[in-house]
Structure 1
């Protein structure tokens, strides 16, 4: 189905990995700790935005002053994720595509998560051996919807952007792929990849 592309690039959360419950629990714990309202539709719309960026958007939207630094709030969520990821993450059906092209085409993961976290989650899901590179938000100056993440993936893979296909579950991610000059596949629509949210 994707034979005419030279490389495959996957988003991680919600695309290659079902981490819906992990991040809903982590965000619920974080927002409750810092007394930030939980607006679930808004949170879904921010899929792919790194933690600090999401917190900044929430604080501005609700006009809040929180007695904690952005770093502290980010660290709390990241620690919750690291302490509980083994309980919630699992591969999605898209892993079958990655397995099919393993050894045939170079593949990378481009994610809004931090690189170390992403590598750990991929390892827990038994997917780490399928991809040559993982590009997290800490590796680029501008995260999604900027094209930097996917352009970095293409650079590391040694493939021209226009010969890459990106698999994404979020509008911001698909926007990033388009801005990078890459084909984008909406995995919710094309592959019916659905995350297991607890609400």
Structure 2
């Protein structure tokens, strides 16, 4: 199905890894701690936006001043993720695609998560062996929907961006792929991946 591309790039959360419940739990815990309302459909629309960016958007949306820094709130959420990831994460149906092209085409992860967190989650899921590169939000100046994350993946894989296909579950991620000049596959439609994040 993807034989005519030279490289495959996957988003992680909600795409190659089923982590919706992990992040919903972590966000809910953090938002409750700092008194920020939980708007479920709005949270789902922000899938793929890095943590600090999401917090800034939420504070602006609800016109809130919180007695904590962005770093403190970010670190608290990351701590909850780290302490609970082993309970929630597992590979999605896209594991079959990764297995099919393992050793045939180079593959990478381009994620809004931080690199270290992504590498840990991929290891828990047994997915790290399929991937030649992992690019987290901490490796690029402009995260998704900017194209930087996926362009960095292509650079590390040594493949022309136009020869890459990106698997994504969010509109922002698909926008980033298009901006990078890459083909984008909506995994919710094409691969029936179910993302149970703030449904």
Q: CA deviation at 1:195?
A: 2.4
Measure how far apart 1:198 and its partner are. Answer: 7.5
Q: CA offset at residue 169 of structure 1? A: 0.2
SS of match in other structure, 2:192: coil
Provide Cα deviations, 1:32-90, integer angstroms capped at 9, x if missing partner: 00000000101000000000000000000000000000000000000000000000000
Matched, 1:181 2:181: yes
Residue segments in structure 2 that go unaligned for 5+ positions in a row: none
Point out where structure 1 has 5 or more consecutive residues left out of the alignment: none
Is residue 165 of structure 2 the alignment partner of residue 160 of structure 1? no
Task: Kindly indicate whether residue 194 of structure 2 is the aligned counterpart of residue 194 of structure 1.
Answer: yes
Report the CA distance between 1:125 and its aligned residue.
0.3
TM-score, normalised to structure 2, is 0.99
Classify the secondary structure of the residue corresponding to 1:172: helix
Give the Cα–Cα distance (whole angstroms) in 2 for the partners of residues 27 and 166 of structure 1: 26
| Residue 96 (structure 2) pairs with residue 105 (structure 1) | no
8 Å CA contact 2:24–2:198 kept in 1: the answer is yes
- Partner Cα distance (2:24, 2:49) in 1: 14
C-alpha distance in 1 between matches for 2:34 and 2:158: 43
Q: Do the aligned partners of residues 121 and 66 (structure 1) sit closer, same or farther apart at CA in structure 2, a change above 3 Å counting?
A: same
**Alignment coverage as a number of residue pairs:** 199
Distance 1:144 1:33, change over 3 A: same
- Residue 85 of structure 1: aligned partner: 85
Report SS of the residue matched to 1:108: strand
The answer to whether the Cα contact below 8 Å between 2:146 and 2:176 also exists between their aligned partners in 1 is yes
Match runs of 1:18-167 below 5 Å: 18-167=18-167
Provide the C-alpha distance between the structure 1 equivalents of 2:129 and 2:34, rounded to a whole number of angstroms. 38
Q: Distance in 1 between matches of 2:118 and 2:37?
A: 27
Structure 1 stretches (4+) deviating beyond 2 angstroms?
Answer: 195-199
Q: What is the CA-CA distance between 1:196 and the residue it aligns to?
A: 3.7
Structure 1 residue 129: deviation in Å? 0.6
State how far apart, in whole Å, the 2-side matches of 1:111 and 1:65 are.
29
